[in-house]
């Protein structure tokens, strides 16, 4: 009894499949190509995210160091009998030449980009930068007047309203959505600064006249309102900016405008003569220490503004405002460590509220961004309309990622 012979195809499995299903090879090749493209896209996105996070961390470090150091150096300046409003205004923007390093070195020395400095820097961007720079010069002057005339407690209390104004103006100008995350953070940080002010009521200035108090009050409120407006306006302008290098270029023009404003005011009001007199006769540590104090003030203020610009570009104007407000309490801690300032229970509670509000906001950002990336990976952001704002935020961040890594791409 003979068994039936087992059938074996003379063709390999893939060829047999191709013979039975025309187009098999084409489908398989397309599948492999698609898989390879997906892997390349994932690797590119991963590289962009890493570069984005590195740049974000660098900018916050600059903001942290600049804010805390400039606060401590300003106090050092006033503690040793420095008292010029124009000097404290001028140092906030006079460090603009430092911006030439991040603008020109990557292209001419390090060769890390093929984009030439100021490429695609349109007249519109130039005009906006000049106008915002003059606007910043006025804000710096108002801030200096407020700090010079008001005690720390009052100026801190007034500046605490800045974050609330930033939230409101962000809703109006850039359509910022109000949710539990940002509202909770704004409330906690505002309470933190209010408690900080109430805990500093012993810092009242001696012999402060009603006129000077009124000038200081109006100046501080004006500075808070102007900076609250500045943050969402810059977020709106940065939507026309396609790479981080251009942000630094805009910052250079803005700081030049602010310095021109302060320099003109100093020249008209005798500020340079006042600076010279302070260095020779007023500053109690001597001329050399005076100029070192001015120099370090210039550097730290520039770090502060560079970090602020980077945070607004990489995140949002509201996030930049939250980061700056959170650092007000850190400035107090710096004063305790460096100058031995009193640190009572009220300031301790203020610091806890500050850390709580800031950490909750950062965690909320992390969860929301992660959710947005997952949704983009699953459905492209079109299937669930309830989460569309999350996807849009992630898409904007994706564009920021591309601008960080591909700032030399002419087609961006």
For 21-80, how does the pLDDT look when each residue is reduced to its tens digit (9 = 90+)?
444 445 555 556 667 767 777 777 778 888 888 899 999 999 999 988 988 888 888 888
Torsion of CA 406, 93, 362, 386, to 10 degrees: -60
Q: Report which of 153, 138, 173 is spatially closest to residue 213, judged by C-alpha positions.
A: 153
Q: What whole-number percentage of the chain has pLDDT above 70? A: 76
- What are 69-106's pLDDT values in tens digits? 988 888 888 888 888 888 989 999 999 999 999 999 98
Q: How confident is the model at residue 387 (pLDDT cuts 50, 70, 90)?
A: very low
* Contact of 93 with 297, CB cutoff 8 Å: no
Q: What whole-number percentage of the chain has pLDDT above 90? A: 34
Count CB neighbours of 364 within 10 A: 16
Residue 137 has pLDDT above 90, yes or no: yes
Residue 236 has pLDDT above 60, yes or no: yes
- What are 147-204's pLDDT values in tens digits? 777 766 567 667 767 888 899 999 999 998 888 888 888 888 888 877 776 766 555 5
**pLDDT at residue number 399:** 55
**pLDDT at residue number 400:** 56
Q: Output the DSSP codes for 233-279.
A: HHHHHHTT--SHHHHHHHHHHHHHHHHHHHHHHHHHHTHHHHHHHII
**pLDDT at residue number 401:** 52
Residue whose pair of structure tokens reads 């698609």 in the numeric block: 34
Cα–Cα distance, 370 to 12 (Å, whole number): 46
CA distances from 308 to 175, 227, 247, 288 (A): 20, 11, 11, 31
Q: H or E stretch including 375?
A: helix 345-379
Q: What is the mean pLDDT of the chain?
A: 79
* Contact of 113 with 407, CB cutoff 8 Å: yes
**pLDDT at residue number 404:** 54
Give the mean model confidence (pLDDT) for residues 111-140: 92
pTM: 0.79
Q: How confident is the model at residue 300 (pLDDT cuts 50, 70, 90)?
A: very high
Which residues, at least 6 apart from 110, have a Cβ–Cβ distance to it below 8 Å? Answer: none
CA–centroid distance for 320 within its chain = 5
Cα–Cα distance, 25 to 38 (Å, whole number): 20
Q: Which residue has the higher pLDDT, 330 or 127?
A: 127
Where do runs of H (alpha helix) occur along 150-243?
152-159, 161-173, 180-198, 210-238
């Amino acid at each position: 009894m003979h068994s039936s012979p087992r059938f074996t195809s003379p063709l390999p499995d893939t060829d047999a499949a191709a013979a039975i299903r025309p187009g098999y090879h084409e489908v398989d090749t397309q599948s492999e190509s698609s898989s390879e493209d997906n892997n390349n896209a994932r690797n590119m996105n991963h590289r962009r995210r890493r570069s984005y996070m590195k740049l974000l961390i660098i900018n916050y470090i600059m903001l942290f160091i600049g804010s805390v150091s400039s606060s401590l150096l300003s106090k050092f300046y006033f503690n040793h009998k420095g008292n010029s409003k124009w000097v404290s205004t001028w140092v906030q923007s006079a460090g603009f030449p430092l911006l030439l390093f991040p603008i020109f070195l990557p292209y001419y020395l390090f060769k890390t980009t093929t984009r030439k400095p100021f490429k695609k820097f349109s007249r519109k961007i130039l005009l906006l930068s000049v106008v915002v720079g003059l606007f910043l010069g006025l804000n710096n002057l108002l801030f200096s007047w407020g700090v010079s005339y008001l005690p720390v407690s009052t100026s801190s209390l007034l500046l605490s309203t800045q974050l609330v104004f930033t939230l409101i103006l962000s809703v109006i100008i850039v359509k910022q959505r109000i949710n539990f995350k940002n509202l909770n953070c704004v409330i906690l940080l505002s309470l933190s600064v209010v408690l900080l002010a109430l805990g500093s009521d012993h810092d009242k200035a001696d012999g402060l006249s009603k006129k000077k108090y009124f000038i200081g009050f109006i100046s501080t409120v004006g500075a808070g309102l102007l900076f609250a407006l500045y943050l969402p306006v810059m977020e709106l302008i940065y939507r026309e900016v396609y790479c981080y290098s251009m942000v630094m270029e805009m910052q250079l023009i803005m700081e030049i405008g602010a310095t021109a404003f302060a320099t003109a005011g100093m020249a008209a009001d005798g500020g340079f003569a006042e600076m010279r007199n302070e260095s020779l006769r007023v500053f109690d540590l001597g001329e050399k220490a005076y100029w070192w104090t001015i120099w370090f003030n210039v550097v730290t203020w520039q770090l502060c503004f560079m970090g602020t610009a980077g945070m607004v570009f990489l995140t949002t104007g509201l996030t930049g405002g939250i980061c700056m407000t959170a650092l007000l309490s850190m400035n107090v801690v710096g004063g305790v460590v460096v100058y031995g300032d009193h640190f009572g229970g009220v300031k301790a509670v203020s610091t806890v509220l500050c850390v709580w509000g800031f950490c909750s906001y950062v965690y909320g950002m992390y969860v929301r961004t992660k959710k947005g990336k997952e949704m983009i990976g699953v459905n492209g952001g079109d299937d669930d309309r309830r989460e569309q704002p999350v996807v849009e935020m992630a898409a904007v961040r994706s564009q920021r990622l591309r601008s960080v890594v591909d700032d030399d791409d002419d087609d961006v």
